[in-house]
Amino acid sequence: MILLIISVVVGAALGFLLPLHISAEYTPYVAVGILAAIDSVFGGLVANYRKMFDIQVFLSGFLCNACMAVLFTAFGNLLDVDLYLAAVVVFGTRLFQNLATIRRYMINDWVTKRERKSE
């Protein structure tokens, strides 16, 4: 867990210190790709809590989800249809579901530890 926190802090610091400018025409692709990647990370955390985490499944899901979201966005742009909105809705819904699951696991862990302390 401490490695996760350190990674987030280092990543955020690098993001602020090395700002990257993305042109407006690529922002839908980057946004959908990032959303898909965050969904995969939260899915990996849920799998870890369930003791079912597999690095191969995580990495393949991470790459496939991000690539498919970007490809759907590109295909939608070719058809002049905002397909990225579908990806945003799907990944946003999954992200909040995974976040709720993680929250429940954390609360259960906290309650269990608290009950053990009081005994």
List pLDDT tens digits, range 69-108.
899 899 999 998 888 888 889 888 999 999 999 999 999 9
The SS3 call for residue 50 is coil
Its pTM stands at 0.77
- Tallying the residues shown for the chain, one arrives at 119
- Residue of 90, 84, 107, 3 whose CA lies nearest to 39: 90
Residue 2 lies in a domain: no
pLDDT tens for each residue of 33-77: 889 888 998 999 899 989 998 989 999 988 998 898 899 899 999
Q: Is residue 1 part of a domain?
A: no
Q: How far apart are CA 114 and CA 119, in angstroms?
A: 9
| 8-30 pLDDT, tens digit each | 789 889 888 887 788 888 888 88
In a domain, 10, yes or no: no
| Number of independent structural domains in the chain | 1
In a domain, 72, yes or no: yes
Judged on CB neighbours under 10 Å (0-12, 13-18, 19+), 2 is exposed
**Is residue 62 one of the residues assigned to a domain?**
yes
Question: Residue 99 sits in which domain range?
Answer: 26-118
